[in-house]
A and B are shown apart, each in its own frame.
Chain A
Amino acid sequence: MNRFALLVFSVAALAVAAGCQKDETTSRDADLAGVNVAVGEKGGSFSKLFVLNEGNFQKNNSTLDFLRFSDGNYVSDAFGSMNPAVVQGLGDTGNDLALNDGKLWLVMNGSGYVHVLDAKDETLVASVAVPDPRFIAFDSGHAYVSSYAGAIYGGEEKKGKVFRIDLKTYKIDGEVEVGCQPEGVAVSGGKLYVANSGGYNYIHEDTVSVIDLSSFKVSGSVTTASNLHFMASDGRGAVYVSSYGESTWSQDDAGNWIQSMSEPMGLYSIDGLSSSQVKGVHVSCMTMCSDGYVYAIGNADELTGGYSNMLYKVSVKDGSVTSKAISGTDAAQVGNPYGICVNPDNGDIYITDADYTGPGKVWCFTKDLKKKWVAVAGMLPAHMVIY
C-alpha cells in the first residue's frame, strides 16, 4: 500500500516536473538551436546549466551559454541571441555568475557592469554600473558586489569597496570600504563576509572583512590566510573561504623564474570571528552545493611544483573531507580545470576547462568521475549555476 502510494506520488511528481519542463519549453529561449552533446541527459528538477565564459582580457567576448537538460543541447551565446539589440553584448570579462530569486546576476569586471537577467529566457532586466566589480552575494533585499574601486597594479595602494544594490530598483544605495582588492563575498547570519586578496599589493592581505548588514558598516575583521579568493555561505551560519596561499619567486640555475608555495593554497571556515583551516584541501576552484558539501579542485603537489589535481568534497556538517585523485579517472582529460558546479539531484559534477589559445570546454562527469558529456564553450568558461 505504502509502496503504491509512493508510486502514485512519484508519477504525480513526474507529471508536475514534466509540466514544468513543458512550461520551460514555451520560454522564448526554447527555439535557440544548440549542439546536441548530452543525449538522454536528465537534469533532475533542473532545466538549465548556465555557463559564463569570462572571455579574453579587453576582447569584449564574454558570453553566456547553457545546457538545456530537456534535449541535451548546448546553446552558445544565449545572451547575444536573446538580446540582439544590446550594444556590445554582455561585455568584457565575466567574473561571477549567481542565481537569486529567478534572476541571473552576471558580474562583468572589465565592463564595470552587473547585468540582471531573467533566468527563464536570458532577457536583460537591468544593467547596474559598478566600478571594477568582482563577486556578488545576496540577502533578502539587496545584492552586494565587491569592487577593486579603481586600484591599479603597480600603482598606489588603494582600498576596495562593497557596493549594495537594491533588488527592487536595481540601483546602488550604499557602499562601504573594505580591504585591498576584495574578491569573494558571502552572506551568513546577518553579516556579509568579504575576502580581501591584496592582490596588487607587495604584501597580500590576509583578512576577511565582516560587515553588519543592518548598519552596512564594517563590524570586524577575521585574520585568516594570505590572498583570499572564493567565498561561500554554508547556509548554517558559517562561511568557507579559499586562499591562493603565498608564493615566493626565485630563479633556478638557468635563471628561470620558479614559483614555489611558501604557504599552500587552502580552504578555511569562518564561524563568527574565528577561522579554522580545513586540513588537506587545496583550492584552485570551488563551489558550494545545496547537497551540503563544498566541492573543490586543487593541486596537492603545488609545494613541490608538481601538478596533480585532486577533487575534494568537504561536508559542511562535520567538516570531514573526502579527496579523490583526478588522474586515472575520465576527468584527467580536463586540461585546465577552471570552474566547478555540482548537480545536487544526481551528484553530477560539471567542470569547465579553460584553453588559453582557443575556446574552452564544459565537461560533465558522474560523481565517480566517469565522463557523461563534453561541450565546446566560449573563451575561458569559468562560472556555472544550475537552474
Chain B
Amino acid sequence: MFPSFLAAFLLFIQAPECHPEHSEGSDTLKAAMVSSIYGCIIVPQRITSGELKSASGLSEAVRRFAGVQLRDYGGVGGLKTVNVRSLGSEHTGVFIDGIQVDNAQNMQVDLGRFSLQGLSSVSLFSGQKVAPLQSAKEYSSASSLYLESADPVFKDGKRDNFFLRATGGSFKTGSPSVVWEHLLRGGSKLRLSAEALSSDGRYRFHVKDFRQYPDGTLAGYDTTMIRSNSDITSSRVEAMLFSPASGVASWNIHAYFYGSGRGLPGPVYKKAGEYPLSEDRQTDRDAFLQGKYYRDLGDVWSVAGRAKLSFSHLEYTDYPELVPGGTPASYNYRNHSAYLSATAMARIGSSLKVNLAQDCQYDYLDSDLRAFAYPGRFSSWSCASVIFGKDSFEASASALYLGVRDSFISGNDRSSASRSAFMPSLVFRWKPAERFTLNGFAKRSFRMPTFNDLYYTTVGTKTLDPEDAIQLDLGAVWNLWSEPSNHLTLKVETYWNQLKNKIIAVPTSNQFRWSMYNLGRVEVLGVDLTAEYSRKSGTVEFGLVGRYTFQRSRDKSDKEALTWNGQIPYIPLHSGSVNLYGEHGGWRLDITAFMTGERFTTSANLPAYRIAPWTTLDAALSKNLTIARNGLTLKLCLNNLLDQQYEIVDNYPMPGFNFLLVATLSF
C-alpha cells in the first residue's frame, strides 16, 4: 500500500483520503510517518495535489474549506487567520507535520507566513482528530489545521533534486525560491529550501456609500484610494531531514526560520489630507527546531516522540508619522517555548488500540511594556484514548487532562496561578453500506487564556477561566460513483457548538479602563455541504468541487443588550466556494469562486452595521513542460477576476484584480 500512496503524491493526482482500508490493512509506521493524518477516524476536509498547486497561497487554499471563515486584513502582508465553525481562531490549532505552531501571546497563527511549497496536503479537522500514535496536544484544539510536508522522492536513481522558482506579479511582488533535495548515504533524505519575498503591497480600492431615499433618488460617493504602508519583505529558510525509507524507525527533523518587516496600513478612515493614515511597522523573527520519531516495538507496542524548541520576536512601532525625525514608541515581545511529547500505542487483539500520550510545554514571554508581568507557563497534557475498529465500525473515546501553571511578576514578587481542564471526546464512523458512511463526534475542549488576556499591563485579568467549547457533530458521506473515471461524493455535516466563558474586553466601573472578562457566550448551529465530482476519460480529467456552509451563530451573552440573539460579528449565515478544474496534456485550469453572504460588524444586526455580501472569482492556469529531462511548470494566477471591491474585516479593503506568475524549474 505504501508505494502507491507515495506515488500518488508524486504524480500529483488526487491522493486517496484516509479510508478505513488504509488504517486496517497497512497500519504500519511508514504510512503513519508519511502523513500524520493517516489512519484517522474522521475524514478531514483535505486539499491535495492539483487543487493545492493551483492555489495562490495557503490562506487562499484554506478558505475553500466548508465551515471556515478566513479573517484577512488584506494585501500581501495582512494578517490571515482561520476561524472554524465560529469558535474563534484561538480554538483552531495549526499543526506542521503534527506539531503545533504556538503563540502563547495571543494564539493567533498568521497563515500568511507559511508557504505551500513542499507541502503535500492541507487538511482541516473540524472536530476531533483521532489517529494512531497521536500526541496529547493534538487532542486539545476544538479544530485543527494540518500542513503536511511532502516526503522527497528521487526518481531514476537520482540523488539530487533541484527546484528553482520565480514568482512575480501585482503589488510589485517578487519572490525567488530554491529547494535542494538530496539523498544521503544510508537513505536519509535532506531538503533545504529558501524563499524571499518583497512586495510594496500598494493597491487601489474604492470607498463608496450610496443611499436610497424614499422618493427613489440615489445619492452617495464612490472614490478611489490607494492602500499604502502595506509593504513587506520577508525571508524563509528551512531544512528538513527525513529518515530512510527502510529501517525500524521513522523520523524527521525540521528547522525553520522566518524573518519579516512590514508596514501596518491600519484601517481606512477619514483623515485630514496632510496626515497619513498609519506608518506603523512590525518586524518579526520566528524560528523553530522540531522533530518526531516513530518506532515499532514488536507486534503490540509502537512508540512516538516529538520535540520542539521555538522562539519568536515581534516588534511594533507605533505612530512614527506623528514624530517625524523623532523616536517613535516601540514595543518588543519575545516568546520562547519548549515542547516534549511521548506517545505509546498498544494493539490489543485485532480490533482494539490504546493510545497513551504525555506532552509538556514551557512558554515564556518577555516584553518591554511598562510594568510587564514576564509570564511563564508550564503546561502538561495527559491523554488516554481507546480506538476500536471492527468491520465497518470504528470508534474512539479519549480523555485529555490539561494542567497549566503560570508564574508572573506581581508587584515585586513572582506569583503563580494554576488552571486545569478535562476534555473528553467521542468519535465514531460507521459504514452501513458499501458507499455510505456515517460519522460523528462529541467533544468538549477548553482554550486557555492567552498571555495578553491575562497579563497585558492594566488590561489583562489574571483570574480568567478558560473558554469552554462544546461541539456535537453528525455527518454522512455518500460515494454515489466511485470509479476513477467517474467519481461523485456528497458530504453533509451538521453541528451544534456552544462557546461559554468567551473572553472579551469590557470597560470596568471606570470607563477609561478596560479589562478582560469571561462574559461571552455563543451558540452555533451549522450545516456544511460538500459535493465533489470528477471525470476522467483518456488524458482529459475535469472536476467540480462545491462547498456550502450555513452557520447560525447567535450571541447569547447578555439578555438585556441589543446584541442578544444576533448573528455574531463577521460570521455570514451563508457562505461557500466552487472549484472547477480541467486537466489535459500537462495543462491545468482552475476556476474558483468564493461567496460570502451578508455579515455584521456587531451582534446588534442593524442595517448600519451590515457588511455587504461579496463574490470573488479566481482563475489559475498552469502548464507542465519537459525540456531536456528537466521539468518546467508555468502557472498564472488571476485573482479577483471581477475586480470585486470587498472587505473581510471592516475598514480593511481587500485588493481588486491581481495576478501572479510562477515559473518552477525542476531538475
Contacts and interface: CB of A to CB of B under 8 A. Distances in A.
B642 interface: no
B38 to A, nearest CB: 43
Contact of B563 (A85, A299, A358): A358
Contacts of B327: 155-156
A357 B209 contact: no
A60 B268 contact: yes
B507 A356 contact: yes
Nearest to A305: B509
Contacts of B606: 359, 376
B211 A84 contact: yes
Nearest to B408: A255
Contact of A152 (B318, B507, B602): B318
Interface of A: 31, 33, 58-61, 63, 76-77, 80-81, 84-92, 108, 110-113, 129-131, 150-156, 244, 247, 249-251, 254-257, 259, 284, 299, 302, 305-307, 335-336, 338, 354-359, 376, 378
Contacts, number: 169
9 contacts: A59-B269, A61-B608, A76-B608, A81-B213, A87-B223, A88-B207, A91-B270, A130-B272, A257-B459
Contacts of B603: 357-358
A256 B462 CA distance: 5
A152 B209 contact: no
A294 to B, nearest CB: 20
A258 to B, nearest CB: 10
Contact of A255 (B209, B328, B415, B608): B415
Contacts of A156: 323, 326-327
A77 B608 contact: yes
Contact of B323 (A130, A150, A255): A150
**Chief secondary structure at chain A's binding surface:** loop
Contacts of B506: 356-357
Contacts of B272: 111-113, 129-131
A154 B318 contact: yes
**Chief secondary structure at chain B's binding surface:** loop
Interface residues of B, number: 70
Contacts of B462: 251, 254-256
A359 B318 contact: no
Nearest to A355: B561
B400 to A, nearest CB: 26
Nearest to B215: A31
A88 B211 contact: no
A257 B458 contact: yes
B319 A113 contact: no
B627 interface: no
Given A92-B271, A257-B515, A358-B603, 8 more contacts: A86-B221, A91-B269, A153-B329, A255-B373, A255-B415, A355-B561, A357-B602, A358-B562
Contacts of A113: 270, 272
Nearest to B410: A255
By Cβ-Cβ distance, the 7 closest A-B pairs, closest first, are A91-B270, A154-B329, A60-B269, A358-B604, A129-B272, A88-B270, A112-B272
A76 B604 CA distance: 15
B270 A89 contact: yes
B433 interface: no
B510 interface: yes
B463 A59 contact: no
B155 interface: no
A338 to B, nearest CB: 7
B417 interface: yes
Contacts of A244: 512
Given A153-B329, A256-B463, A357-B561, A84 B221 contact: yes
- Most B-side CB within 10 Å, residue of A89, A92, A256: A256
A357 B410 contact: no
A123 to B, nearest CB: 13
Nearest to A356: B507
A251 B462 CA distance: 10
Interface in B392-417: 408, 410-411, 415, 417
A91 B277 CA distance: 13
A155 B319 contact: yes
A386 to B, nearest CB: 24
Contacts of A76: 608
